[in-house]
Amino acid sequence: MTTPRPRRLRTTPAMRRLVAETRLHPADLVLPLFVREGITEPVPISSMPGQVQHTEATLAEAVRAACAAGLGGVMLFGVPARRDATGTAGDDPEGVLNRGVRIARQVSDESVAAGGAGVVVMADTCLDEFTDHGHCGVLDDRGRVDNDATLTRYAALAVAQAMAGADVVAPSGMMDGQVAVIREALDAAGFADVTILAYSAKYASAYYGPFREAVDSALQGDRRTYQMDASNYREGMREADLDLDEGADMVMVKPAGSYLDVLAGVAERSDVPVAAYQVSGEYAMIEAAAANGWIDRRAAVLESVLGIRRAGADVVLTYWALEIAGWLDEKGTK
């Protein structure tokens, strides 16, 4: 009997490239961006080396770079100067996030007018950035997140973001029924073409720590009554099924790296595109290890994102999106 030789398909870089089962492309990547109100220069995020809170001017530059790199999209988060109990800055047409969406819309449209592809403009549809208590919803008189009162606020956020020019609204608060309520509100307001990217399986994770700095979070306590428990797989499948039934156009798993089994399960059952968010803590760990000389930074970044794609993500949100696009361009794989 002839001995099987799988190694024949690994003999040269050209052979390995030919038979690669999973590939990275800039169009599959989405760059998260933070825009902060009331600053005149970008503010570095200390726990996320290389990332900043943008001014409106530097936000435009970042979106322009994303268009030039061929990225699939940008996901915008706002950091307001003032917060209140119900997050009214979130649906204020002149609120920082909605101004940021208008800027991104204009830059993308200019790219298209110049013969480019532009980017898909996405907006985080949640209250945590805008509330003085830091939770993703409205609190009741006992200090608990009121699911149904929060849905009303999400509908207002989504419509405001659509009016500002968002292609995609992305409810990330894990409120029951959020997709259906947002879809109804968008359709009633004349935005039937606006896409909903549902954070369907979003876990209460220790990996969100640096993000709290990025949005100057006011959170006290935790979000474990609405974000999912890390021990649960089947619940993630149920959450995805519910969002699909409610009409989600895309579904997401967050975080990505420690939940690849959940990502694979959602990808297997979903008939719409599946996204995964490589979150701030995942970014920070690789950056810290690389800064100490413990790992090869570029190789680790590419391997981590390739693993997310291999598990079933059609779209990856990653803070390295621009760098990865540059590396792919060097290889002539864009």
User: Got the DSSP string for 245-256?
Assistant: HHT-SEEEEESS
Contact between residue 35 and residue 77 where contact means Cβ atoms under 8 Å apart: yes
Task: Say if strands 274-277 and 315-317 run parallel, antiparallel, or are unpaired.
Answer: parallel
Annotated active-site residue 202? The verdict is yes
Determine which one of 202, 203, 256, 280 is catalytic: 202
Q: Which residues make Cβ contacts (< 8 Å) with residue 113, sequence separation at least 6?
A: none
User: Got the DSSP string for 284-324?
Assistant: HHHHHHHHTTSS-HHHHHHHHHHHHHHHT-SEEE-TTHHHH
- Quote the radius of gyration of the chain (alpha carbons, Å): 20
Determine which one of 54, 153, 183, 254 is catalytic: 254
Q: Is 230 helix (H, G, I), strand (E, B) or coil?
A: coil
Whole-angstrom distance, CA of residue 80 vs CA of residue 34: 11
Contact between residue 279 and residue 214 where contact means Cβ atoms under 8 Å apart: no
What sign has the CA pseudo-torsion 280, 138, 235, 230? positive
Q: How many CB atoms neighbour CB 224 within 10 A?
A: 11
Q: Is 72 helix (H, G, I), strand (E, B) or coil?
A: coil
Whole-angstrom distance, CA of residue 287 vs CA of residue 46: 12
Nearest alpha carbon to residue 101 among 166, 35, 48, 187 = 166
Active site residues: 202, 254
